[in-house]
Amino acid sequence: MGRHRIHVNSLQLGYQGGPRWADPYFCEWAVVVGDRIRRLRNARGLTLVQLARLLEKPGGGGYSPGYISRLERGWATAPLYVYLAIADVLQVAPGRLLGPDDAQREVTEAEMTLVKVTRRLGLTPDEAIGRVCRAQAARTSGEGKSRSSSVKRSAASS
């Protein structure tokens, strides 16, 4: 038979029998950021190969699609300048890529009501904000007119 088979089951399965943090190549923060990279890349219709070609190393050259894939899965971390370059290519602010997850922010009951009403009326957020601002401006200018007319009435009666 000749050569012995190489057993790679332990490499394919990762560390067995221990908690997830025992794996030295896993980083929970990298999973969160990597998932954002994947979602943004997919939203822009880019493949791993296309994203890798758009990224340039500071000294020249580029990154492999496999490296980008490992970043997306959280199995690798990169220096800050790589994440900044990815944010630039994906046309997002670095804070959005590296900052707190919007889904983890608490939503108040009033905010949720506003979202429900906006959806029910079929308005985009921009339209809803515009309508609220116009209504507030009309209300403010209406209050100013009623105040000035009441001042004129009181001055006339004196």
State the DSSP H helix or E strand holding residue 67, giving kind and residue range, or none if neither. helix 65-73
Q: Do 96 and 42 fall within a single domain? A: yes
- Looking at residue 151, its pLDDT comes to 47
Query: DSSP labels for 83-137?
Result: HHHHHHHTT--HHHHHS--GGGS---HHHHHHHHHHHHHT--HHHHHHHHHHHHH
- Residue 78 near residue 69, CB atoms below 8 Å: no
Same domain, 20 and 72: yes
Q: Give pLDDT, residue 22.
A: 59
pLDDT digits (tens, 9 = 90+) for 53-78: 999 888 888 899 999 999 998 888 88
What CATH number corresponds to the domain at position 83?
1.10.260.40
Which parts of the chain sit beneath pLDDT 50? 7-11, 151, 154-155, 158
Choosing from 104, 128, 148, the residue where a domain stops is 104
| Long-range contacts (CB closer than 8 Å, 24 or more residues apart) made by 23-29 | 25/75, 25/76, 26/74, 26/75, 27/74, 27/77, 28/74
pLDDT of residue 29: 83
Beta bridge partners of 56: 62
In a domain, 2, yes or no: no
**52 and 86 both lie in a single domain:** yes
Q: Would you say residue 1 lies in a domain?
A: no
Residues 38 and 90 placed together within one structural domain of the fold: yes
Is the Cα dihedral 30, 33, 39, 40 positive or negative? negative
Query: What's the structural domain count of the chain?
Result: 2
Torsion of CA 141, 146, 150, 151, to 10 degrees: 0
